[in-house]
Amino acid sequence: MAALIVGGDRVGPYKEVLAQEGFLPVRHWSGRNQSEAHRPIPLDTRVVVVMVDQVSHGLARKIRRVADAMSVPVVFSRRSVGQLSSALASVTD
């Protein structure tokens, strides 16, 4: 079960949380490059984590729209490992 993190610069702790939940590999898009808005979400992705304080509203909306079309759950989180863990609990249940 792969995961995708969109946004953020230092995502090591978030990757560890996702790995502990069984999401491997964990991919990361910084959200800073304009080309990332046009990248397809990898087909093996089982959850998308959007770091809301690190991405533009347009990119967040597009990621949500594409993930919904793929039936992939999207978790919105601020830069907080605790908040990410709580949000993942609702997805993994």
The pTM for the full model equals 0.90
Q: What is the pLDDT of residues 12-67, one digit of tens each?
A: 999 999 999 999 999 999 888 777 778 899 999 999 999 988 788 888 999 999 99
Report how far apart, in Å, the C-alpha atoms of 16 and of each of 8, 23, 37, 82 are: 15, 9, 25, 12
Question: CA 54 to CA 6: how far, in whole Å?
Answer: 8
pLDDT over threshold 70, residue 93: no
Extract the tokens encoding 16.
């560890």
- Cβ proximity of 2 and 26 under 8 Å: yes
Q: How confident is the model at residue 82 (pLDDT cuts 50, 70, 90)?
A: confident
pLDDT tens for each residue of 67-79: 999 999 999 988 7
